[in-house]
Structures are given as C-alpha cells and as structure tokens.
Chains A and B, each alone.
Chain A
Amino acid sequence: MSEQRDIRIEVPVLARVEGEGALELDIERGQITNVKLRIFEPPRFFEKFVETHTCDDVIDMVARICGICPVAYQMSAAQAFERLFDVDPGHWVRDMRRVMYCGEWLQSHALHIHLLAAPDFLGFSNAIEMAEKYPDEVRRGLMLQTLGNDLIALFGARSVHPVGLRVGGFYHAPSLAEVQAMRERLEAALPEAESLVAWAGSLVMPDDQQEFVSAGLRHPDEYGIYSGNMYSDSGLDIDVSQWDEHIREIHMPHSTALHAELDGQPYLVGPLARLNINLDRLPTETAALLQATGVRFPSSNMFHSLLARAVEIHMVVLQAWQLLEGYQVPDRPWVDWQPKPGVAFGASEAPRGTLWHRYEVDESGHVSSARIVPPTSQNQARIEQDIALSLQNFGLDNEEDALRLHAETVIRNYDPCISCATHFLRLRLRRT
C-alpha cells in the first residue's frame, strides 16, 4: 500500500468460472482507482423468448439459461406458477423436489470445490494437475459430483436440462428399486462428505475479514433450499412477492450487467451467506462437523465459501438420504391445475445463491412477460467491493502476478455463473 506505483492489470478471460468474464483493475499511486468485473457473455434475451409460451414450456426453456443449475431455474419457475394458480402439489412432490434439488447442490458444489476453486488454494492451475498430487481428494470430489448428477437424473432422466419437472409435480416417479439403490449410494457417501468437511476446514485460507450483508432464503423448519422468505442478517424478512420493494438493480455505465442492491447496499447471496443465516437450520450431524473444524460461523471471511459449500454438501447428502427413507411410489406424481391470469413470483436457492422469478400470465395460461434475477447479478456489486478490499488487505505492493491470482481467487469464491448473469439485462427496459 505504501509503494507509489501505477499498475494496470487485465485478466482478459477468467478461467475456471462458468461463462465468460473478465476483470479490469487499476491501481494509481498505491490506491485502487478502478475495479471492473466485465461480463461479456452476449445477451441471450431469455426473458423475451418465454413470452407467448405455456407455463410447462417455460420450465423447459429457463433450464437453458444455465447448464450448471438448470434445476434451480425449473424449481423457481414451477413454484411461481403453482403459487399463482393456487396449486398445492402435496408433500410427496415437495419432498422429492427437495431431494432433486439436493442433487443439484451436490454436483455443483463438488464441481466447484474440486475442479474450479481448490486448485487456487493448493497451488495448481487446474484440477487435472492437482489430481496428480491429491488423487484421493479429487476422486472423492468427482464421486460426489457424479452422485449429485445421478440424483438429479433419478427424477429428471438427465442431469443437464432434466426433463422430469412439470407444473403440479413431476412427469414420473422413480421406482422403489431405483430409490433403494440410490439410498445405498447416499449412505455410502456420508463418510466421504464428512471427510470432505474436515479437509475443507483444514485448508489454509487468507484471513480476510470484511463487513457485508448476508442474504438468502430462510424457511421456518428447514435449511433454505427449495423455498422460504427472503431474509438477511441486516433485518430483511419478506415474502418473495415483495422483492421489488427492497432489491433494486442498478445499471453501471461501464458494464452491460446490472448490479443489485438490497436497501441501497451491496449484499451477498450464495453458500457463505446462506450458511450465515441458516446456521440454526443445519441438521445436528452437519452442525457438529462444522463445529469440529474449529472455523467459527457466522463468518465474514469470503474465503470460507469453500468450507460453506462442503458443509452444504454434507447436509444435502444427509437430507436426500433421510427424505428417501420409506419412499413410496405415488398413484400419480402430479396434481391437475387450471391457469389463472396474474403475476407469479417464485424463488429458490440455486447452488450459487437466490434465484428469483416473476412472470405475468394471461387468461389462456401463456406467459406475457418475465423477469429473472439470478444470483450472479446480485453478487456483482459485492464482488467488485470484495476485490478492492481484499487486495488492500493482501497488500497492493505484491507482484503483479500475485495480485492477479489473488483477484481471480476472490472472484472464484463466488462461483459466478456468467452464463446466467446476462439475463438481468432485461431490467434496463424498466428504467429507460
């Protein structure tokens, strides 16, 4: 910080993030004067495409926004329509959707920890190199990722853009034999998930304390995954239909992306924020594992995101295993419904944070307008703030390469999904 020098760092393409993004950073006379996380995934106009389509079509369309978290898109959309139409698909559907969602968290978190993030902390440029030195850890991660994908496919026939979900429930219920085989695999994975938490807790992380607001869904009886109120540690606790009263997206002139603010401030969504506000909703077994790592939560160190993901991995393996206990094939895995015109709101927790949808539906049950706020847009302002603070803490007099790697590592903590991050572009329309 004391050194007087001008540095301009450009990372033209960020590796190991989903989608395409770039970072610009200017340091002048020992001060950061410019941080820009540029998103150059070209606009894909999904919110326009869904117009005129039926609600069931929309479930298949919005999945295509993100190959890593299609289940989250489908779940937020399905719940929005069911809520508008006053449809209660019942306990079986609710529980099985949560199980399917556990699969998405499991595969996405395992992918992120092992293939995208951990190489940063262990000094490798990618996971394949890392696997030579840490074969057991990488194999454990890939096994958990595969299990998550298979859990999605149990209900959706494939893990990327699954085809099982419909408004009112599922198209199909898995057989008892399939569920029993899956339960055995989940049970066998529990000790692996336990050791993953211990390993994640043992990784040496920078001590980088920052003040930020943690936000996400919170549910009265369970860890916020499938549904809940939008909640924050700064006092927010609202139904998802009240979203616009508190969360606004601001257009930054330098970027094609919008930055979200909660009551005028940047905020964090995703695993660390979620764990911070849902600690009392962790299963006892998972809470004990977290305790044993010695890392104290709530945490204000973004580098604890990796541990938060590991903790959530253990929780979802445990929950899926528990929810599938005593599984029975229902007579029919969906309920009938009639469309109603109106405005539909739905939100669920994608692996990387809260995913909010709003649809206007006409009398014939076709969507006439859509708005989607993905997690990466919500985190964008926080990411830029974090990069500036974290680099100050790290020391601006470090070598340029070290600064670049540190900034990239900070960004990867958020597991930004830049493919999704273009979809809030639609919101500009409202302000112009």
Chain B
Amino acid sequence: MGDKPKIAVHKFSSCDGCQLAFLNLGETLLELPKLVDIVHFVEAGPMDEDQPVDVALVEGSISTSHDLERIQRIRSNSSYLISIGACATSGGLQALRNMADANSWASAIYASPEHLDSLDSATAIADHVKVDLALWGCPVNSRQVLGALRDLLFGVSPREESRPLCMECKRLGKVCTLVTQGASCMGPVTRAGCGALCPSVGRACYACYGPSELVNDVSLGRRFEGFGLLPADLARRFHFISNGAPVFKAAGERFGGKR
C-alpha cells in the first residue's frame, strides 16, 4: 500500500457523470486499487479529503464560497491536479447562469437567500487554482481518465487532445453531417476525443468536448447562416455545454445571443 501513488476524486457542483468514468469501469475497477491507492472518493466510499495525494481528479464547477475554500485546500494537498469534464474545465452547462442574473433567480426562489451559500457564478477550477491537466468532455470517458493516470504512472506527461473533432471523425470514416445533411455540426470547432459519437448516429456535434485549437467561429457561423440559422440560434450553438470556454463565450456574444 505504501508505495502506490495516492489518488483522490473530488466533486464540486456537477451531475456526477464524470466520476462514472471510474464507477462504470466494470471489472477494471477492481484492478485499479492494485495500481493506485484511492484515498478519497465519496461516491465510492473512501473519505479522507485532506490527505496529501499524488493526483487529484476534480469534477464539477465552483459555485459556493465553501467551494472556494475547499479547492484551495485540495490544491495545496495535491502534487498533480486534473480537472475532469466540462463543469470542472469550463464551468459546464450550468455556467449559463453566469450570463443571467443568478442572484435574482436565487432571491426569487428562496425565502431566505441569506442562508444560501451560493455564488452568482459557476466557474472552472482553473479560474481559482493551477490545473496541471484539463480533460474536456461532458462527460469525460474512461479512456481519457485512465489514459492520463497510466501516463502519470509511467512517469510521462499526459498529452492533451486539442485537434478538432473533424480529424477524428474523418479518421473513423464517418459521414459528414455538415456536408451531407446541411446540419449545423460543431465538429470543426470542437475538441476531438469523444469518438465522433454524434456523427456516428447521424446527427450534428453539439460541442460537448469544448473548443478545439484554432477555432474559426466566424467562418463556421457564416456557413450556419447559410443553412438558415438566425442569430439567436447561432448563439445557442456556442452558448451550450461549453458556454464558459472564453472562445465560445465570445463567439456566442458576437453572434448576438442575449439570453
């Protein structure tokens, strides 16, 4: 036990879906403790939040004042910190609240909002502490998470995927939905890594893996306009799962989306 690297899985505001990259491993889940010592993973059982670890995997976005304090503590106890999934990496779908007046929602919803520990935003982990590796995806898949851990166990730096989905989609031989259906596919500006799932079921990518490198939103937007999308539709394509990613946030705003 002593020699194995220690890992922790921490949850912030999220749907719990990225932790399932572990819990859905099937029998591989039983192999994992042979390689690493899981010291904190609340949903699976182990609980020791403040124990120093080699690798912390963080799910969810920061949305309470307690979160602010907790993420600092986690960072100071971790040698290497990985943000897993859209919420941790860019705020996730729930970062849509950042564009609205979330405070007014909260005071309308709660009789005593002063007891509510909720910030008016849902933000990425990297907005608060240094993140060593960001794994995009809503949700991340097991291959990404295990790949990163495996690299770290071998002592090499995990590599972050940043090419656009189109590359992966072509490599897999999928039919292009943008060209063949005139679908408003976000593949040209979305990070690869999912396995081109949406094109493989014949639908347009909706950018759940966040922005790729070299996003050319202007050209893509013009193409979508040609398909008949109105400014508000265009804005919603960018202000969706990864609306908190700066390049998508700016693109959505430029296309005229006021929520």
Which residues of A pack against B, CB within 8 Å? 13-20, 40-46, 48-49, 52-53, 57, 60-61, 64-68, 70, 107, 111, 115-116, 119, 125-129, 131, 135, 138-139, 142-143, 145-146, 149, 156-161, 163-164, 166, 170-172, 251, 253, 256, 419, 425-426, 428-429, 432
Contacts and interface: CB of A to CB of B under 8 A. Distances in A.
Interface residues of B, number: 63
Contacts of B67: 42
A65 B15 contact: yes
A157 B23 contact: no
Contact of A67 (B17, B47, B105, B141): B17
Closest 3 CB pairs of A and B: A67-B17, A126-B45, A172-B201
B165 interface: no
Contacts of B30: 128, 131, 135, 138-139, 142
A70 B14 CA distance: 13
Contact of B102 (A20, A45, A111, A126): A45
Given A107-B24, A163-B198, A19 B109 contact: no
A68 B241 CA distance: 18
A100 B197 CA distance: 17
A60 B44 contact: no
6 contacts: A19-B16, A45-B102, A64-B17, A145-B24, A158-B141, A426-B109
Interface of B: 11, 13-20, 23-24, 26-27, 29-30, 33, 38, 42-47, 63-64, 67, 92-94, 96-97, 100, 102, 105-106, 108-112, 115-118, 122, 138-139, 141, 194-195, 197-198, 200-203, 206, 208, 232, 236, 240-241, 259
A13 B50 CA distance: 14
Contacts of A44: 13, 63, 94, 97, 122
A428 B13 contact: no
B201 A163 contact: yes
A429 B109 CA distance: 5
Nearest to B32: A128
B38 to A, nearest CB: 7
Nearest to B85: A67
Contacts of B197: 157-158, 163
Contacts of A119: 45
A142 B26 contact: yes
A160 B17 contact: yes
Contact of B44 (A16, A138, A419): A16
A249 to B, nearest CB: 12
Contacts of A170: 201
